[in-house]
Amino acid sequence: MSVVLLGTAILSLSACGKSGANQVNEKNVSFIKDAQSSNQRIWYMVESDSTSDYELSKDTHITQILVTKNGKATVYNMPDNNFSMRDINGKSDDQVLTIAQKKDREYYKDFIDPQKDILIKSSYIQNVIKNTESDYKHYEKHPDYLGATHKESLKKLREYQDDLTYLKANEASILKNIPKYEKPTPKLLNAKVKTDNSGNDVNYEDITHRRLELETDSAKLKHLHWVDRVDAPTYYNFTMTDGFQLIYDKPVKILSDMYTGYTNPTNDSKTTSLLTKTTNKDTVSDFDKLGTKHVSEEN
């Protein structure tokens, strides 16, 4: 991988690639400065893991697609780890945007679907009702499993029945409150940077971007006897900060495209990188400078 560590150049591999509508030809690229342009640029937040020795490759997972313009970024969430660099190879801006919009909708559908990641979403109302109903039928046949005495067992069985009746009565209202899909919109970008001992050269940058993220929240229900929790999907305005201390002093070639951007050293964990395409084999990515709009110094 071709990078600069803490602003110091190291040997790198150069690469050649064909031009495309989503590729750029600048000699220097800085994320926040470039994002303030009225020209759109597409960036990819990616993760490399042990399957590729933590290096960028065609199998590197894309976790988000960021479209920057006028100082803001529109962030599209990717639904799973099956979307990788090979899926954007040779694609134009319009093609990538179409993919990003489709994947963001898939992310939404996967999150609200109680049958996806069934263990994680076992607390969704549909699964809670299904499991409570199954338990009730089992204990209805074997009531003495519930308590030390027959009277106690019957009391607990009625509690199961009460829970089930209440859940079914409230299922429609909970499902009605599940948020509708929200299309991503542009949100402000900013960064904090660290400089070397001279106070001049930047050698680290924290980039903050904002996006909509789906999470689960506890549904508002009365206390239930045998059900611990009922969850429902909800949207949050999520602020995410990623810190980078490596920059690419030459583009990295993946399949037929070249990329530049920011990354981090690897410590046997997933490596996060922020990449954009380039057609210039001499493109150098650089940290944003103090004095750039929306860039401040980290204390």
Query: pLDDT tens-digit profile of 164-182?
Result: 999 999 999 999 999 999 9
List the beta strands (DSSP E) in the chain: 4-5, 28-29, 41-48, 61-69, 72-77, 187-188, 190-195, 202-218, 231-244, 246-247, 252-254, 257-263, 271-278, 284-285, 295-297
pLDDT-based confidence at 26, cuts 50/70/90?
Answer: confident
In angstroms and rounded to an integer, the radius of gyration of the C-alpha atoms of the chain is 25
pLDDT-based confidence at 3, cuts 50/70/90?
Answer: very low
**pLDDT tens for residues 105-133?**
999 999 999 988 888 899 999 999 999 99
Q: Is the pLDDT of residue 18 over 50?
A: no
Q: Supply 159's token pair.
A: 């509690």
Q: Supply 69's token pair.
A: 């313009």
Q: Is the pLDDT of residue 11 over 50?
A: no
Q: Supply 195's token pair.
A: 């400089």
Q: Supply 236's token pair.
A: 């949050």
Q: Which residue has the higher pLDDT, 125 or 16?
A: 125
User: CB neighbours of 100 closer than 8 A, spacing ≥ 6?
Assistant: 65, 67, 76
Residues 23 and 41 sit within 8 Å (Cβ to Cβ): no
> At 131, which helix (H) or strand (E)?
helix 125-141
- Please give the DSSP secondary-structure letter assigned to residue 287: P
**pLDDT tens for residues 139-168?**
999 988 888 899 999 999 999 999 999 999
Q: What share of the chain has pLDDT > 70, as a percent?
A: 89
Angle (CA) 165 220 227, round 5°: 50
- Domain ranges, ordered by start, for the chain: 4-112+185-213+236-297
Q: Whole-prediction pTM value? A: 0.85
The pLDDT value recorded for residue 5 is 35
**pLDDT tens for residues 27-73?**
899 999 999 999 899 999 999 877 767 788 999 999 999 999 999 99
Q: Is the pLDDT of residue 233 over 70?
A: yes
Mean pLDDT (the chain, rounded): 87
The pLDDT value recorded for residue 267 is 62
d(CA 153, CA 259): 66
Angle (CA) 125 182 218, round 5°: 30
Among 184, 243, 187, smallest CA distance to 210 is for 187
Helices (H) and strands (E) in the chain, counts: 4, 15
What's the average model confidence in pLDDT over 185-194? 96
Please give the backbone phi and psi of residue 126, each rounded to the nearest 5 degrees, phi first. Answer: -60, -40
**pLDDT tens for residues 220-232?**
898 899 998 899 9
Q: What share of the chain has pLDDT > 90, as a percent?
A: 70
The pLDDT value recorded for residue 157 is 94
Angle (CA) 232 214 82, round 5°: 115
